[in-house]
Amino acid sequence: MKRSLLISTAVAVLLPMASADAQWVFVARKAAQRIHHMTEGGVGGQPGYDFASVVLEAPADKVFAVALDRAQKNRAVHLLMSDPGARRLQVAEGDRTATLNVVELSEGVSQLLIAGRSRPGEQAASSQVVAAVMRVCAELKKTCELAR
């Protein structure tokens, strides 16, 4: 009797968690490979900002490794900082900078975020940040597209 009660209690407690986890996986899969971006143009001599993010069905360490490799091989940018433990790097192209961060959402699912800063008085370079995300997607053999 006690054993049956214990099993019933465990199922009642764990079942909602399993359901929530399954819903999270469903939501992540629906959002996968859709690039979301936001741009804020510079005003009054201030720099503009550009943000892009994408959920990828790939391990976070692999996504970061690909992004770091691409940054190191890109002769147009200078690697300012790399922190593999935090999965974060920062690059510069002239006086423009961009910070990339990879977050593990679950095993095999990660989110790539890039925030870029443009020159004062210049429109934010949305196409450059989105293009960087697209290059990482291509390297990972993922077909990414801009969210609508």
Percent over 90 (pLDDT), the chain: 39
Q: How many domains does the chain have?
A: 2
Please check whether residues 114 and 50 belong to one and the same domain.
yes
Report the length, in residues, of the chain: 148
Band of pLDDT at residue 3, cut at 50, 70 and 90 = very low
Band of pLDDT at residue 104, cut at 50, 70 and 90 = very high
How many CA atoms lie less than 13 Å away from 109 in the CB half-sphere?
Answer: 14
Please check whether residues 81 and 43 belong to one and the same domain.
yes
Please check whether residues 81 and 115 belong to one and the same domain.
yes
pLDDT at 41: 75
Please check whether residues 23 and 44 belong to one and the same domain.
no
**Rounded to an integer, what distance in angstroms lies between the CA atom of residue 96 and that of residue 117?**
6
**Rounded to an integer, what distance in angstroms lies between the CA atom of residue 123 and that of residue 91?**
19
Q: Which residues of 123-135 are buried (b: 16+ CB within 10 A; e: fewer)?
A: ebbbebbbebbbe
For 16-55, how does the pLDDT look when each residue is reduced to its tens digit (9 = 90+)? 554 445 554 555 555 677 888 887 777 777 777 888 889 9
Please check whether residues 98 and 40 belong to one and the same domain.
yes
First to last CA, the chain: 56
Greatest pairwise CA separation for the chain in angstroms: 74
pLDDT at 25: 53
Please check whether residues 99 and 141 belong to one and the same domain.
yes
**Rounded to an integer, what distance in angstroms lies between the CA atom of residue 32 and that of residue 56?**
5
**Rounded to an integer, what distance in angstroms lies between the CA atom of residue 131 and that of residue 137?**
10
Give the domain range for residue 12: 1-31
CATH at 36: 3.30.530.20
